[in-house]
Structure 1
Amino acid sequence: MVLGPAGLMLFLGAWGIRRQDAVWRDEAVTYDMAHRGLPDLGATLLHVDCVHGLYYALMHCWFAVYDVTLGDALGAVIGLRLPSVVAMTAATAGVALLGQRLVGRRAGLCAGLTFALIPVVQQYAQEGRSYAAVCALVVWASYLLVLAVSRPCRARWLGYTGLMLCACLLHEFAALALPAHGAAVVLARLPRRDRRSWTCAAGAVLVLLAPVAVFSTRQSAQISWLMWPDPVQLLTFALLAALGALCARVPVRSRGPIGLRALGLPLLLLPTALLLLLSNVEPAYVDRYVLYYVVGFALLAGAALARLLRPAGAAGGTRGRRLRWPAAVALALAALLPVDVHLRSPDSRDDDVTAIAQAVRRMSEPGDGLLFTPSRRRIWRATRPHDFRGLRDLALERSPVASHSLYGTEVSGDEIRDRMLTSRRIVVAGDPAGQPLDTSDQELAKRATLRSAFAVCRSAAVPGARITLYARVGHPGGGDRC
């Protein structure tokens, strides 16, 4: 019941994990932060990204071991993503055990297999970010909640509190799982003792999380790029919510004080609904922030599938069930194969830092100027600094490490223009056409100087970026020739 789903998740996580060594910019941030010294990391978190501070610290410890043991053999990309594969495998095992505890062994097996086959689960199992670990912690906290109300024990409540606190410290929006757990406690009509125990546990989590949450509000400009939720993400949630509600109508018999619907439906619906409501005040919705909502869908769908695939009665029914199981899994794998293959391609993420760095290297010569437009795209050089060696970052004032920031600081627009006018050739790594243009003094100076004093030599489109080589018009050294 556990090994089958966990083994499937481990296989799916390992399949195509390198993604042709493509790394997207959020993973590049993880790599950069994890390779800073702990004093530098702590100083940076005081200014930016403290919401991911615990994750970066854990990844720093992981890379300290990985780089000197397996790094040369397996490569940095696998090291970046391997913890997420392990975390999602643990989450799958937890979903299977949770389904077994709520309904039965067959429901647990179906729930674990369903969870492993969901494309968004496979996506974040192969990303060097905290979302897989958060999902695993919420799953196992939910399991301990079910155990604690079935057989009350202080150790289980302490375990639940500890796991939820760790999940929230890895990412604050894990706290949105608490209302789902609270709804399950209320809907199950538990004794007052259990309700009081959950209230104390949830209160302790929120009190201990509060200082970090309050401090992180000072860094809310980091998500200022968020607008109204992405339609594809909303459609995915709406589809899973509708299917989950439909599966909840299939009659199943729950085995404990907390029923399947009492936990599954709130976990599926409440975190995303609350985050969408919060987004009406300040845009904050991205599906990965509440990735654990798919756990509710997997539990409901798993129980419904177990009911529909149950043996008809006698030995013939059992043989039929044995035949149907491999066929059902094979059919699901075949139906999802195009999506799964796409998720393991470099084009599946917003950009490809590796392809961008290689394009810059091919287009440049030692001594050329270099510009990132906008400046936050300087993160593109974090994982492959050797591809930028010999280039002069014309706008850079202080490096990301020296400035305790993610992207470094830049000089004024006037100084950028003066530096650009001393260059014969400039390689520009920028966003593709159609993206919003930053209106800072520095970005305005970059664009104006390129238009007035430089001509385009050649340009190349790579996933999520455009690399352009400019030459100075009328330069005394013949810079108008590319």
Structure 2
Amino acid sequence: MRTPQQAQAQAQAQAQAQDRREAPRDDGTMSTALWIWPMLATLAVCLLGVNGTQLGTDELVTWEVSQRSPQQILAMMHNVDAVHGTYYFLIHGWTAVFGDSQVALRMPTVLAMGATAALVTLIGRRLFGQRAALCAGLLFALIPAVSRFAQEARSYALVMLLATAATYLLLRALDKPGKWAPWVAYALCVMALGLLHLIALTIVLCHVTAVVLRTRHERRGLWYFFIAVLAAAVCVLPVVMVGRSQASRQLFWLPKPSPWGLVEIWPQLFASGLCTGAVVALSALAWLERRENILLCASVAVLPPLVLWAASHGDTSYFRYQYALFTVPAWVLLAGAGLAGATRSWLRTAVVLAVIALLVLPDQRRMRGSFEHDVPHAADYAGAARSIEKYYRPGDAVVYQRGAPWMLDQGVRYYLRPDVDPHEVFLAATAAENNELFPTYCPRPAECLAGESRIWVVVPGNSSDVLRALPAHQALALRAKYTAYGTETLSGLTVGLLVRKP
């Protein structure tokens, strides 16, 4: 005759066996053959036109900060941009090895998107099976936002990779919830995610769903999860403290979102209204899949934007679609499951994927526009650099109209040849010397002019009088001693040349 304890143990063993039978098997050999195709497809799409779009404002900040010494980057983090400090250190090391060309600056994010596609496929096989996994991985490659942020030298693609890796490591840890080693790997990944972008830690709230449902027969897993999250939080706490003190300065320009913002954010996440509609429609078809798996993916897809929206009604707004990009893999996992369940054959699946590829083709082309990363300014930094190079003489000086969100100085300097180096006449201290993102200028511009015979002026907008766009005290000093020789109007900016009066 069985005791109550024996009966309970047998019931738990039967429930666990049933869970294993219901869950899709994760065959290592099949997974290896599976993830490589979405990864290669994503890399191919993301590399297409990677050098065609000019660096945007945020990318120019990445380049400028990455050229500083580690000590200067650390000193800057005490004043501004501490939340991006980890990324700046990574790019500093990367450019030291591979250089700072456009391709080199963007290659870490291209590789991150390829790795994310592989992880999406592995997670999809674990949750929904082989066909759904391949569908999800290939859908990921087709999404215009994936190409867009694979080709941007900022942290968003790396954040997406780490967030997806955290979900994958969580599922592996839940396979053996009583073992501590998988939880250590999960904790390290969550810590790295927080160091790279604090807002992405909202994914941990979504992971609670999976942990509670999957550890109902093994409570040790629940304790390991909370210990792992607590350890990661302790490591990230210094960045949280500094970042919170800098938030109002860095995000002051973000307005509090209206209820309509919860509708607008979804097309922004995918960089395509048609792609959004297709992904959401396919995701709705996944409702017949296993409840635990659907809840995990749905919570990761939907909950972080809702949390950001709610948190943005305090002192500082955080509601920016880039901060929620890490939810895209969860959407494609749901869509992949829905597509696999609806089509039931590889031929039909291929037809649907081909139709989606055609639907998003105009958006994919738009993502590769010359000034896509600098909307709405569309400043032609490379064109300005060519204009200066064409007529440059050794000893020439330059004046840039500065001020957020413009990065005219960094943009033109990036595209100038190394042998073309006009000095800035009104510059008192560089941004690096200030441990800031912006430099300081001579308080009395007339005293900073040292008899330069020619001065280039680069200002935003299109104007025949470039001096009109400069601060009044700088324009007054220049008008007194210089006359306009000529101007060239480019997309988003104007380049002028001043010559000294006789």
Question: In 2, Cα distance between the equivalents of 1:46 and 1:97?
Answer: 39
Pair 1:357-2:416 in alignment: no
Q: Deviations over 1:366-416 (max 9, x none)?
A: 55542222245232245245479453413211123333333322222xx12
Counterpart of 1:2? Answer: 35
In structure 1, the gaps of 5 or more residues are: 68-74, 312-320, 435-441, 478-482
| Contact 2:481-2:501 within 8 A present in 1 as well | no
Pair 1:43-2:75 in alignment: yes
Pair 1:178-2:204 in alignment: yes
Pair 1:265-2:293 in alignment: no
Counterpart of 2:119? Answer: 94
Pair 1:136-2:170 in alignment: no
Amino acid at match of 1:403: N
Counterpart of 1:300? Answer: 334
Choose which of 46, 50, 54 in structure 2 pairs with 1:13: 46
Shift of 1:254: 4.6
| Contact 1:250-1:304 within 8 A present in 2 as well | yes
Shift of 1:214: 0.8
Amino acid at match of 2:435: H
Pair 1:374-2:402 in alignment: yes
Secondary structure of residue in 2 paired with 1:469:
strand
Secondary structure of residue in 2 paired with 1:370:
strand
Counterpart of 2:30? Answer: none
Closer/same/farther in 2, CA of residues 189 and 392 from structure 1, 3 Å limit: same
| Contact 2:396-2:455 within 8 A present in 1 as well | yes
The residue correspondences of 1:49-448 to structure 2 (distance < 5 A) are 49-67=81-99, 76-152=101-177, 153-186=179-212, 190-191=216-217, 192-220=219-247, 221-227=249-255, 233=265, 235-237=267-269, 246-251=281-286, 254=289, 259-281=292-314, 282-311=316-345, 321=346, 323-350=347-374, 351-362=379-390, 366-375=394-403, 377=407, 378-384=409-415, 386=417, 389-412=420-443, 415-416=444-445, 418-419=447-448, 426-432=455-461, 443=471, 445-446=473-474
Q: Deviations over 1:189-233 (max 9, x none)?
A: 845433333222222222221111111233332333334569965
Shift of 1:110: 0.8
Q: TM-score, normalised by structure 2?
A: 0.78
Counterpart of 2:18? Answer: none
Farther off after superposition, 340-349 or 97-106: 340-349
Closer/same/farther in 2, CA of residues 389 and 224 from structure 1, 3 Å limit: farther
Farther off after superposition, 29-38 or 379-388: 379-388
Secondary structure of residue in 2 paired with 1:302:
helix
Q: TM-score, normalised by structure 1?
A: 0.81
Shift of 1:433: 6.7
When Rg is computed on C-alpha atoms for both structures, the one with the higher figure is 2
The size of the alignment, in residue pairs, is 445
Closer/same/farther in 2, CA of residues 341 and 430 from structure 1, 3 Å limit: same
Shift of 1:106: 0.7
Q: Deviations over 1:3-39 (max 9, x none)?
A: 221110011122111116x222322222222232222
Farther off after superposition, 359-368 or 24-33: 359-368
Closer/same/farther in 2, CA of residues 388 and 273 from structure 1, 3 Å limit: farther
Question: In 2, Cα distance between the equivalents of 1:359 and 1:13?
Answer: 31
Question: In 2, Cα distance between the equivalents of 1:384 and 1:470?
Answer: 18
